[in-house]
Chains A and B, each alone.
Chain A
């Protein structure tokens, strides 16, 4: 990322007259409430439109998968990195899993192989990034590589799975929901209540300083990317178990949706600041808005696909204005 800008020495950051600072903090406060307001609004819309609430839970499953991946990518963004390859890694692990099942590997070994493949994808990114290559460059490359492997190895065909899986689902919730809760809980504890989380945030804020202060930044890098790959593998396995098919162009654009959730959730893209739970909020806002507008568009043709896209884009930028700008770190 080229935006690593230096602070002017010894100068307080908020280099603005007091009245302007006050106005800005006021507007920032209103903007920081925006996600909650939007969430309420769209939840209200959905509640008023939906006829079978149980069906809603199924509607939400693709978003739950994205939310899980977004949560597991949040530590990477806190490190000042980014992972563009999650969508491709998702497709690759899903195909590997389906292929294993098709060729008669048992379910548990197939799961193990697929999750290992996901972890390997993440570790490849992590290894290269830990050795100093820019994350954007590495994951752009691995995004093409994993997608290319999926296409080349499995011939660009859908891989059907004969077995049907009766996934355990108390409360009629799909297992994706439980996976999200599990990943969220584990990462919330690790990032906000464990030393590792302090390491992650410090490395994201100033990598050189963290290294000199004795933080094993390379190990942190590798760990974060590998964890993300591991979770992507789990999500892909559950996806194939649900749909009984692996599609080679699965997860296209997933990385950008996940990044959007993280940004709306308030994690700063240049690293150093953010919250795991924020990403869940971000995913909730983005998904409920999308679903609410979808409901509305069936009722009112005016609200069509294009307006949904425009609203989502404006939402993203609007929330970024309140959370992403780093006061005073921009030389101007």
Chain B
């Protein structure tokens, strides 16, 4: 039985076809491999199947179901789940919430999230992992590999009818890969279908029932995997007969031999002594040599470069270039010292997506120049042309924006960027990650060429083939420590693997320093076996310092508010805490209005004007000659609706036209203010019905209705943010829009709702202000937006979104009001209030910095 049918799918971007005329079917219960070079259209095809991209023509459908437009929604409701190649996570949410967001939130009564079930679901998923983290840890404390494992485990646990995996093992170690493959087989045995996309052909052949090969956007064949060989697949993928990609060792080895004599050590790496052996390990790398650093996930491979470059605490690791230490200087100075780095994560760490190829290529070379030197466009153009030719980058020319290039071509250009500086040490972090076979061998050849001109290369890789075929020596990491250094030689495959797994005993693992004298000096075999208890397994990247700082901050805030209130009550007889709370009540609501938008990753500086528009509309309703019992509820509703509409307009402009929210609300700020003056004329509106006062304080009983309303609103907003899926969505979108998009959340609609909610809260504030002031002026609320945002920030709301609590925002608002009152009561001129506010904001800036540092170092 078929699980999914694809008929003649086409998709082109800016006239260039990415996928054309693709048809194949997926049979239920099979594991279907999809292979092809970079730019063959695999990712595009996957995005079409998961409904993220609409096809230009052709049909995707479930068998037996009518033809309909295939959207992300139909795809999800058909039980199709996609794990993308470069998966995103919500850094500010917990692991449990991250897992729930990729599926659904367990709901208890009345649409609230069932916290217990949320926790249990997460544990159920995590228990399958080799080193399960606790569900309550925040995702920004995890390493990439652990996140990927969690993502895969969650997807497998969801038992989808069709699971699409795009390069799932790119970040995983051998061990983790085996775990994953076993789990995929279990899923298929239980009747699930899997579409498995990978460059690792051996995995594909081992795992899949059938394999479809894509080339240049077209299907070349779909056939049973049994009986196929990797060479056949490569032939189909690349159309031309390619020899085995392992062509490098011979020329490199000879190069290694010659260069070893003529130049002395250029780079000297000193590993600190570890618990297993007391000796420190010194590694000398000469010009023209390539050192591969190989290790499994969690072996410290990914953090080694960060330690070398001093981006993270080096823990004793020391790198000397020509006798000068590398550490403690900025990336800029390092570059001037002759060091180039090709980072692991191309998208976020290397590419200037919307800039053209020229700017992308020459940027490092420019970094080496004086800032006031004249930029030379002709020379830049020429350099870019030469890089494009040398690496045969497929593009339309130096003027093409970088984002239009495929990953492999981007990678080639980036390597070209590194080489333009003629570095004496080149650090490559996973240089061929996600790159197809043809581009990979071109990259390897380019690296080998570079060594001829006397560059020392350190290449971090998770691919043993690459390490063996393309380097002079392999340093193997295990459990965060150096497990041994081996000559790169096919016969050492066993030893390297064993060392990487930490299972090496002395006889296998001892790397002979005699055969490798040029490279490693007194290298002792660091048998980092199970005997060496790794101090911190790498799946938890940083401690909880940033959490502690946030915790301390919110407690301190609460303490200051209470202390200030007590102090005022004692020191000044005329002070009543209730009056402060009275005055603060509408401000609390406005602060929440600012907060809900900021949490979702936007900012609304038009809430002051929104408030005024809502109040003006309400004032108009109140002045209609209808009975008061009718106009007051109507006015209340009108204020809410107007506020909501204003917010909705902001949200619509922001999401529809993709304009930054600060720009949109800067525009609507003046528009709404104009509307207020249009509605009111120049004069204040007075003569509002006296009964309106009921919304603030009951005349006979003295009952404070305003405070009650504010309290109710605060509670419901808190409940909404904390315990409903929508609230979690707001945090999710604010935390990482890209991750939200991948989870199938509509970023636009969530942002829009946040703006609408903010607008409604602002409208409510406007109505309460109307009721307390009993008049309406055109300037009502102007400049209040900044005060509200200030209060929210003092209360611990992070301006970039994703973090902040209702309680914090209310405390921030109370502190701001209290300090104003305190100045008056203590007879200090209110000129100093602004200074006080500024100081409080600076304290917020500083604690924000502290918590950031906590997250960075921990």
Contact = CB atoms under 8 A, between A and B. Distances in A.
B303 to A, nearest CB: 16
A240 interface: no
Given A308-B674, A313-B674, A332-B746, A10 B38 contact: yes
Contacts of A1: 660, 800
A137 B844 contact: yes
Given A2-B601, A214-B331, A205 B738 contact: no
Contact of A216 (B330, B364, B801): B330
B835 A132 contact: no
Given A216-B332, A331-B737, A149 B835 contact: yes
Contact of B363 (A149, A215, A307, A310): A215
Interface stretch (A58-66, A172-180, A230-238, A269-277): A269-277
B625 to A, nearest CB: 26
Interface in B823-858: 829, 831-839, 841-842, 844-845, 848-849, 852
Contacts of B802: 2
Given A205-B354, A214-B368, A324 B831 contact: no
B69 interface: no
B592 to A, nearest CB: 18
A112 interface: no
A16 B38 CA distance: 22
B328 to A, nearest CB: 15
A316 B605 CA distance: 15
Contacts of B676: 306
Interface stretch (B12-20, B220-228, B282-290, B475-483): B12-20
Interface string A190-203: 10011111110110
Report whether over half of chain A's contact residues are helix, strand or loop; otherwise say mixed: helix
Interface residues of A, number: 93
Contacts of B13: 11-12, 14-15
Contacts of A213: 335, 350, 363-364, 367, 417
Interface in B1-54: 12-16, 18, 38-39, 43-44, 47, 52-53
Contacts of A13: 353-354, 401, 403-404
B666 A306 contact: no
A168 interface: no
Interface string A251-279: 00000100110010000011011000000
A206 B660 CA distance: 17
Contact of A310 (B331, B350, B653, B675): B675
A216 B334 CA distance: 11
Given A136-B799, A137-B845, A144-B838, A198 B350 contact: no
Interface in A17-63: 17-18, 21
B811 interface: no
Nearest to B837: A144
Q: Could you say which of A14, A82, A202, A312 has the most chain B C-beta atoms within 10 Å of its C-beta?
A: A202
B662 interface: yes
A330 interface: yes
A305 interface: yes
B748 A332 contact: yes
Given A9-B43, A136-B799, A141-B838, A205 B353 contact: yes
Interface string B231-251: 000000000000000000000
A238 B404 CA distance: 48
Nearest to A129: B845
Interface in B757-799: 786, 789-790, 793, 799
Nearest to A269: B660
A2 B835 contact: no
A153 to B, nearest CB: 9
Nearest to A189: B374
Given A2-B800, A137-B793, A332-B747, A317 B14 contact: no
B517 to A, nearest CB: 34
B838 A212 contact: no
Nearest to B746: A332
Contact of B88 (A6, A145, A317): A6
Report whether over half of chain B's contact residues are helix, strand or loop; otherwise say mixed: helix
A273 B38 CA distance: 29
B369 interface: yes
A252 to B, nearest CB: 8
A126 B635 CA distance: 47
Contacts of A214: 331-332, 334-336, 340, 364, 367-368, 421
Contact of A272 (B88, B355, B674): B355
A259 B364 CA distance: 31
Given A14-B14, A195-B372, A198-B363, A306 B674 contact: yes
B702 interface: no
B704 interface: no
Interface in A201-237: 201-202, 205-206, 208-216, 218-219
B708 interface: no
B732 to A, nearest CB: 12
Interface in A312-332: 312-314, 316-317, 320-321, 324-326, 328-332
A6 B832 CA distance: 43
A221 to B, nearest CB: 13
Contact of B407 (A9, A14, A82, A259): A9
A146 interface: yes
Contacts of A263: 663, 666
Contacts of B673: 306, 309
A31 to B, nearest CB: 11
Interface in B390-424: 401, 403-404, 406-407, 417, 421
Interface stretch (B269-277, B341-349, B716-724): B341-349
Given A137-B845, A314-B671, A320-B659, A2 B678 contact: no
Contacts of A148: 832-839
Interface in A105-153: 128, 131-134, 136-138, 140-149, 151-152
Nearest to B166: A9
A144 B363 contact: no
A133 to B, nearest CB: 5
Given A6-B347, A145-B838, A317-B668, A152 B831 contact: yes
A156 interface: yes
B835 A316 contact: no
A170 interface: no
A156 B677 contact: no
A232 to B, nearest CB: 17
Contacts of B18: 11-12
A132 B88 CA distance: 22
A195 B375 contact: yes
A144 B332 contact: no
A330 B661 CA distance: 13
Interface in B573-605: 601-603
A7 interface: yes
Nearest to B741: A331
B141 to A, nearest CB: 18
Q: Could you say which of B12, B355, B373, B403 has the most chain A C-beta atoms within 10 Å of its C-beta?
A: B403
Contacts of B737: 2-3, 5, 331
B203 interface: no
Contacts of A190: 372
Contacts of B655: 330, 332
19 contacts: A3-B660, A10-B38, A132-B852, A141-B845, A144-B835, A144-B841, A147-B834, A149-B838, A195-B374, A201-B355, A206-B353, A214-B340, A215-B331, A272-B355, A306-B675, A308-B674, A310-B678, A321-B657, A321-B659
Nearest 8 A/B pairs, CB to CB: A148-B835, A214-B335, A145-B838, A309-B674, A313-B671, A141-B841, A331-B741, A12-B13
Interface of B: 12-16, 18, 38-39, 43-44, 47, 52-53, 56, 85-86, 88, 330-332, 334-336, 340-341, 343, 347-355, 359, 362-364, 366-375, 401, 403-404, 406-407, 417, 421, 434, 601-603, 653, 655, 657-664, 666-678, 734, 737-738, 740-741, 746-748, 786, 789-790, 793, 799-802, 829, 831-839, 841-842, 844-845, 848-849, 852
